[in-house]
Structure 1
Amino acid sequence: MRDRPSADIWRRTRHRRRGLVIAVLLIMVIGSVLAVDAIRRHIEGEADLVGDRTFYRVPHPLPPGAPGSIVRVEGIDSAPLGSSAWRVIYRTRDLAGSDVAASAVVIVPDAPAPVDGRPVIAWGHPTTGAATQCAPSLDVDPFQLIEGLHEFLLEGYAVVAADYPGLGVPAASSYLLGIPEANSVLDAVRAAHAIDAARIGTDVILWGHSQGGQAVLFAAERADEYAPELTVRGVAVAAPAADLTELMSDDIVNVSGVTIASYAIPAYEDAYSERYDAGELAAILTPGGASATPQMAEMCLLSQNEEIHAIADPLIGRYVTGDPATTEPWKTLLHENSAGSSPIRVPVFVGQGLADELVKPSATDDYVALLCAQDTRVSFHRYSGVNHGLAAYASLPDMLVWLAAVSAGDPPASTCR
């Protein structure tokens, strides 16, 4: 009788060890599969890029067509395991309402689609740059910046990731211009509908990080008017560039602000050329800033960060003649391109890192206060110790819970008081 407890303990310990061994083996197998998949995607991605140079060249002028209509589409061999993917070039509208071509990536799970089509996550990516070559879809791995991609595919969602006009397909930059960014996000979903094998439905969740937060918030504000055939169920953002006046005022004193401004100023000069003389907008720059801006505007944030710092660091405090957020005509233009001019009538998820030094927590607090004042249903989450780059990943667990509830038609109670 005295030996029985020891035997039971030994058996339980043996079972736990066996379970631990199985778990470790599963992790090793999954890790090996993911590693092999990463190698495969890199090799196939390199092969994909060989043909991309011609794929992204479109006729000029662009043949007429409706917004969201496809100009060109091709499959992507390096799609993640268990999915199919395509690059697509489609028509969208710029700030003036003119037709322009834009590029996007569409990814769907290999599982059978629902009868009414797959629901869509329309992804708005954070800043990669403002030059044509900085498009996420041009990367060897065009999927790596889509935060939450694997989780969304496992849940049966299609994912549509727009580059924004000026990225991928040569065109004028749309950097931090809310309307053309939003148009391109919505039109990318329209274009995905025309890919028969993708089996896309009309239900859409908008999801964006940083610059992509601005893009999808504008898309949420404009969807009913611009793309009424789409049913936007909700919009989720992480560290969104929602209020450009606060963003620019907070950041113009550091290297991030100099970089952001170097991307935005040429884009705004082109977009508002009929409204303002070039000199009116360029007057905000010091002589050193005016000299450096064209070079910085051609650099991609993720691949040329050191080169950007080498130019921007000496200009900190000497890039602009005053705060653009309080200097006309920039004050007006930044306000026009800030989210919140129209109420959002679908549930909104907001995630914000409290260690974010780019989109300051106070700026997001102010935007959430505006949403609450407009009677928007908001789920607001703050994350201690999380910086700007990790805001979307930190938000994902809560965002996925919110997503399931919104998709089921039972969104969480608002955190607005």
Structure 2
Amino acid sequence: MRRSTTAVLLVLGCLLLAGCGSSLERRAVDGLVDSWTAGPFYTLPDPLPPGAPGTVVRSERLGSAPDGATAWRVLYHSRDVTGADLLTSGVVVAPDGPVPAGGRTVVSWAHPTTGTAQRCAPSVGADPFDLMEGLSDLLAAGYVVAAADYPGMGAPGPPSYLIGVTTGNAVLDAARAARAIPEAGASPRLLLWGHSQGGHAALFAGQLAPTHAPELQLAGVAVAAPATDLGDLLTADIVDVSGVTIGSYAFQAYARAYGAPLASILTPAGVTATPAMAQLCLLGQNAQLHDIAAPLVGHYLAADPTTTRPWADLLAANTPDAATLRVPLYVAQGEADTLVRPQITAAFVAAACTSGVRVTSRTFPGVDHGGIAFDALPSLIPWLAAAGQGTPQASTC
């Protein structure tokens, strides 16, 4: 706390001495204050109060909201893959100004991999809006943006990395939480948007919406470089340091959620290292992660998880099923992506087309995994508008 207080005072002092007051500087100071005061917000009430999914237990305004918008940090009820009640956290952002008749459509945004530990949650940082790909465009278009941290991040709890039902429920329940904030002016109309891990969560949210959140009027699902066939992705990625890192997040989460034994697929060194890697954030602690993961490349797996039970069954159960989507789907994929391989996304798109899903597929030459969500925005924003108005663009199948 002393270090955070000093940082806030230093920044304030610099701004006063310089006579500055720009939007960027205002948000920097307010972001430090938001971060400094965040700790108690994530402390769970004891006992845990019962509540329906999406019920807000706690909310607070964030001073670092973008210009022309109001934002809240929220703690809300959701359900995990077993159906158990849990509290998870996130952020809601709404444009300022009068709420239009009928309210604002919600875009529930699902973030890419940042880690699985509590402190890796986007809402915990000094600028929780920095990672929200397309936020300024979405606010300018009049949407309310709901951004789930995912269970186990921000609010304490077991990790949920690539556990489709748990993260998909959290994405839907974030939209419900947005509707529980009167000032946001959120309507039941819903669009889903996610990148990478977030694409996986958004696809599961799309599958689950009719049963988990039937009151929400889902109009479309948009994803960029989504994690789809988990077995194929694992096989393709485990050969390098990034694959070991991402694998550790998933293996630890599945071990905790399902009781799957790590020793049945990992080497002794891998079993020892996996919990340590799972406590490190992808952003900010990448060097430490790679220090642990690099020596394990080629020495991490003792057996193939795609053929070893229960791991093979778990990977299959947490692979999105395109055939279950009942709304239009937008998929963006960078052709230079070496993490989510283009051929795996292409196979998912083909399966969706075969199942009769109205798919708009866009590929981007030279674009890698990190850049695809931003490069997709010029085609995504009009696609969202058309889907939200019930006039989806023509399928590219």
CA contact 1:243–1:338 (8 Å) conserved in 2: yes
Secondary structure, in 3 states, of the residue corresponding to 1:325? coil
Please say if 1:303 is aligned against 2:284. yes
* Residue segments in structure 2 that go unaligned for 5+ positions in a row: 1-20
Secondary structure, in 3 states, of the residue corresponding to 2:37? helix
* Structure-1 residue corresponding to 2:240: 254
Q: How does 1:62-77 map to 2 (within 5 A)?
A: 62-77=48-63
Aligned partner letter, 1:91:
H
* Structure-2 residue corresponding to 1:357: 338
**More displaced stretch, 379-388 vs 316-325:** 316-325
* Structure-1 residue corresponding to 2:358: 377
Please say if 1:109 is aligned against 2:95. yes
* Structure-2 residue corresponding to 1:320: 301
Deviation at 1:322, TM superposition (A): 2.9
Query: What per-residue deviation string (whole Å, max 9, x for no partner) do you get for residues 176-226 of structure 1?
Result: 100000110111111111111111101111000000000010000110111
CA contact 2:322–2:352 (8 Å) conserved in 1: no
* Structure-2 residue corresponding to 1:31: none
* Structure-1 residue corresponding to 2:225: 239
* Residue segments in structure 1 that go unaligned for 5+ positions in a row: 1-34
Query: What per-residue deviation string (whole Å, max 9, x for no partner) do you get for residues 119-164 of structure 1?
Result: 0110000000011110000010000110000000001001000000
Distance in 2 of aligned mates of 1:214 and 1:354: 19
Deviation at 1:327, TM superposition (A): 2.5
Secondary structure, in 3 states, of the residue corresponding to 1:324? coil
Among all aligned residue pairs of Structure 1 and Structure 2, give the percentage whose two residues are the same amino acid: 52
Deviation at 1:342, TM superposition (A): 4.7
Please say if 1:203 is aligned against 2:189. yes
Q: How does 1:29-178 map to 2 (within 5 A)?
A: 36-178=22-164
* Structure-1 residue corresponding to 2:10: none
Distance in 2 of aligned mates of 1:252 and 1:375: 33
Distance in 2 of aligned mates of 1:282 and 1:75: 45
Distance in 2 of aligned mates of 1:136 and 1:38: 19
* Structure-2 residue corresponding to 1:291: 272
CA contact 2:323–2:357 (8 Å) conserved in 1: no
CA contact 1:82–1:110 (8 Å) conserved in 2: yes
Distance in 2 of aligned mates of 1:158 and 1:394: 22
Aligned partner letter, 2:320:
A
Query: What per-residue deviation string (whole Å, max 9, x for no partner) do you get for residues 266-305 of structure 1?
Result: 21111112xx5xx3x4321101111111111100001101
Distance in 2 of aligned mates of 1:282 and 1:148: 41
Query: What per-residue deviation string (whole Å, max 9, x for no partner) do you get for residues 321-354 of structure 1?
Result: 1332232221111010000165211100000000
Aligned partner letter, 1:402:
W
Secondary structure, in 3 states, of the residue corresponding to 1:320? coil
Aligned partner letter, 2:275:
P
* Structure-1 residue corresponding to 2:9: none
Query: What per-residue deviation string (whole Å, max 9, x for no partner) do you get for residues 89-125 of structure 1?
Result: 0000011111100001000001211121110110000
CA contact 1:111–1:156 (8 Å) conserved in 2: no
CA contact 1:62–1:99 (8 Å) conserved in 2: no
**More displaced stretch, 190-199 vs 134-143:** 190-199
Distance in 1 of aligned mates of 2:100 and 2:144: 11
* Structure-2 residue corresponding to 1:25: none
CA contact 1:105–1:160 (8 Å) conserved in 2: yes
Please say if 1:348 is aligned against 2:329. yes
Aligned partner letter, 2:326:
R
Query: What per-residue deviation string (whole Å, max 9, x for no partner) do you get for residues 332-380 of structure 1?
Result: 1101000016521110000000000000000000100110111000000
* Structure-2 residue corresponding to 1:11: none
Aligned partner letter, 2:80:
D
Distance in 1 of aligned mates of 2:235 and 2:314: 14
Aligned partner letter, 2:362:
H
Aligned partner letter, 2:360:
S
Secondary structure, in 3 states, of the residue corresponding to 1:108? strand
Deviation at 1:48, TM superposition (A): 1.0
TM normalised by structure 2 equals 0.93
* Structure-2 residue corresponding to 1:3: none
Secondary structure, in 3 states, of the residue corresponding to 1:326? coil
The Cα RMSD (Å) is: 1.2
Which of 214, 218, 221 aligns to 2:204? It is 218
Distance in 2 of aligned mates of 1:127 and 1:60: 30
**More displaced stretch, 83-92 vs 326-335:** 326-335
Please say if 1:272 is aligned against 2:253. no
Cα pair distance change 1:89/1:142, threshold 3 Å? same
Which of 304, 311, 317 aligns to 1:330? It is 311
Which of 155, 165, 190 aligns to 1:179? It is 165
CA contact 1:252–1:323 (8 Å) conserved in 2: no
CA contact 2:249–2:277 (8 Å) conserved in 1: yes
Aligned partner letter, 1:101:
L
